[in-house]
Amino acid sequence: SKSRESGAAARDRPTTATIRFLISRSSTALSHEPESAAIDNIKRTVLKEDDEDTAQEYFKVLDRVKRYTKEHYYPIINSIESIEKIENPFLDRRLVEISKKLHAVRSRPELLIHGTRSRFVEQMIRDGFSYQRKGLFGQGFYFYTDSSKAARGCGRDTIKCLLLCDVLLGETMAMKSADRSLNLSRIESAGFDSVYGVRGTKESGGVFNDEYVVFRTEQIAPRYLVRFRENAFEDSENLGSK
């Protein structure tokens, strides 16, 4: 009886090979866990105009948002509620890695603006961009130099959100008219990494003001979150005319 029990125990005992497999599988699972899940590594600093440590950067971002506005776009940015600096090591590493794979290997990121709904902004800061919108230059991630144009993506939220992002444009395909069929495969095969909608080309089917499009989320790293309130028009006729 005792020998039968010891034989059963031996059969149930995991072999050395099984243990190695389990350890290997566990290590693989851990290595595939999203790095962005470690949100404790994300550093967020509130920039304030009356803080000597952050005032210079606060006004730099404020100027970037307030000075690049266009009257013919709605909403009009009025009251800035807050400005936060974002440092996400996970997204920064992705940016560095993808920079090595672009057609323009040594390109530097441009600080461009993207407007989004408040309910999406935290996920975008943590994990990066995921939703590609359909626009004049294909389905991708759209950015602008004009904050008021970017703000059109904020929806009807009372407190609206702009993300100022480092965007790796690489080799840019300049477009003076719309082409909604553009995608990553097409621009890559043509030797480009992004699309630029050239300003002042509305009459030829393009855009009034700059638009930039990338098709890889890895080319984007949020740098600043700006929360603001919009300016209300004095009458409905003005709203309809914009």
The reported pLDDT for the residue numbered 106 is 82
Render pLDDT for 139-191 as a digit per residue (tens, 0 to 9): 999 999 999 899 999 988 889 999 999 999 999 999 999 999 999 999 999 99
Classify residue 143: in a domain, yes or no.
yes
Mean of the per-residue pLDDT values of the chain: 83
Mean pLDDT of 48-70: 91
Task: Specify the pLDDT at position 33.
Answer: 43
- Name the domain count of the chain: 1
CATH of residue 185: 3.90.228.10
**Looking at 180-189, 196-205, 224-233, which range is the least confident one?**
224-233
5 falls within a domain: no
Predicted confidence at residue 32, as pLDDT, reads 41
**pLDDT category of residue 63 using cuts at 50, 70 and 90:** very high
What pLDDT digit, counting tens, does each position of 92-112 carry? 999 999 999 999 988 899 999
Give pTM, 2 decimals: 0.79
% of the chain at pLDDT higher than 90: 66
Whether 37 shows a pLDDT value over 50: the answer reads no
Asked whether the CA dihedral 169, 172, 173, 175 is positive or negative, the reply is positive
Mean pLDDT of 27-42: 52
pLDDT value, residue 79: 86
Distance separating the N- and C-terminal Cα atoms of the chain: 91
Residue 168 domain-assigned (yes or no)? yes
Give the closest residue to 197 by CA, choosing from 208, 211, 187: 211
Nearest Cα residue to 152 out of 116, 100, 206? 116
Determine, yes or no, domain membership for 35.
no
The percent of residues above 70 in pLDDT, for the chain, comes to 75
The reply to whether 93 falls in a domain is: yes
Domain presence at residue 37: no
Q: Is 48 helix (H, G, I), strand (E, B) or coil?
A: coil
Residue-range definition of the domain harbouring residue 64: 43-225
Q: Which of 81, 155, 146 is nearest to 118 (CA)?
A: 155
Q: How many residues does the chain have?
A: 242
Nearest to 222 by CA among 165, 161, 150, 138: 165
The reply to whether 31 falls in a domain is no
Cα 103 to chain centroid, rounded? 21
Residue 78's contacts (CB-CB under 8 Å, 6 or more residues apart) are: 228, 229, 230, 231
In a domain, 232, yes or no: no
